[in-house]
Amino acid sequence: MWRNNMRVIICDDDEYIRQRLHDNIRLAFKSMRKSGYQGLLECDEYDNGKDLLEDEGEKDLVFLDIEMPGADGISVGRALKQDDSDVLIAYVTSHTEFLDDAMSFCVFRYISKPLNQERIVKCICDAFNILCKRRINVVIDEGNCVYRKVNTYNIVMVEKDSRRLKLYMKNGEVIRVMGTINDFLIGLNPLMFVMCHRSFIINLKYVSRIDKNTVYLCGDKYVAYLSRNRYTSIKEAFINYVEKSI
């Protein structure tokens, strides 16, 4: 059973397409409920890119038409990614000639018209699975078991501190949580997070450089110890992550 709220946005100037997408999103949500999903789903709609870009709320998955009056879907998608690189974008269009432009900034899915229900439902379920890897519930070390939801993409590294853990966040915040480092690692995406030392977990997304004894993250802002016997495996994991991110 898992609890991750999700916000989905549909942006298409065709009301029929918006309704079809909305219906399929609800269908996928029911399927996730049967599998144990306990979070909330928020689904909003826009008929143009300008209004979508003015929406300052958090966006998890955006179904985006490419050809719309005013701002086209490619420029809107690029702006969304520049504002939040973690947002998942699924383009919905009958024009495959835009595929290269869309893929240039790593879109999540490309769904052709006429819409295929099975493909849309799979897209949403896959997005749910990614979201569940991004966010985890942690117990804040304040002596009163306070729960807080943390976006794992924003964790730069984790350091073992006696019987507690310190999460170093991208914004400079340090969150102290209860738990063991091995148990914490289990809840993270193994393609992004690796243990470089018995006291450190690093997020490969933020690695700047690696030497024989140290991993530098976010430039030289964060430093993690590197065990000698893990040097080769960490280098390989980092190279593999970079190649998959290109």
The CATH number of the domain where 145 resides is what?
2.40.50.1020
| Beta bridge pairs of residue 158 | 167, 201
- Regarding predicted confidence, which is higher, 182 or 34? 182
Residue that is last in its domain, among 85, 107, 133: 133
Q: Is residue 77 part of a domain?
A: yes
Taking the whole predicted model, whether its pTM rises above 0.75 is answered as: no
Q: Is residue 153 part of a domain?
A: yes
Q: Tell me the chain's radius of gyration from C-alpha atoms.
A: 20
What is the distance between the alpha carbons of residues 14 and 68, in angstroms, rounded to a whole number? 9
Look-up of token digits 């939040």: 84
Query: Residue 101 pLDDT > 80, yes or no?
Result: no
Q: Is residue 1 part of a domain?
A: no
Q: Which two tokens stand for residue 134?
A: 């991004």
Residues 45-80 have pLDDT tens digits of 999 999 999 998 889 899 999 888 888 888 999 999
Average pLDDT of 207-216? 96
Strands of 109-112's sheet, edge to edge? 41-46, 6-11, 61-65, 88-93, 109-112
Domain interval for residue 56 = 6-133
Are 147 and 236 part of one and the same domain?
A: yes
Specify the range with the lowest mean pLDDT, choosing from 5-9, 33-37, 91-95: 33-37
Specify the pLDDT at position 108: 86
Are 154 and 237 part of one and the same domain?
A: yes
Specify the pLDDT at position 103: 65
Look-up of token digits 């690692």: 185
Q: Are 179 and 233 in contact (CB under 8 A)?
A: no
Are 34 and 100 part of one and the same domain?
A: yes
Q: Is residue 227 part of a domain?
A: yes
Residues 229-241 have pLDDT tens digits of 999 999 999 998 8
Specify the pLDDT at position 38: 66
Are 218 and 147 part of one and the same domain?
A: yes
Specify the pLDDT at position 195: 98
What is the distance between the alpha carbons of residues 38 and 5, in angstroms, rounded to a whole number? 8
Percent of the chain with pLDDT over 90: 45
Q: Are 181 and 166 in contact (CB under 8 A)?
A: no
Are 188 and 73 part of one and the same domain?
A: no
Of 129, 3, 113, 134, the C-alpha closest to 63 is 113
Tell me how crowded residue 241 is: count the other CB atoms within 10 A of its CB. 16
Residue that is last in its domain, among 88, 116, 133: 133
What is the total count of domains within the chain?
A: 2
- Regarding predicted confidence, which is higher, 191 or 156? 156
CATH number at 65 reads 3.40.50.2300
Are 119 and 165 part of one and the same domain?
A: no
Are 222 and 126 part of one and the same domain?
A: no
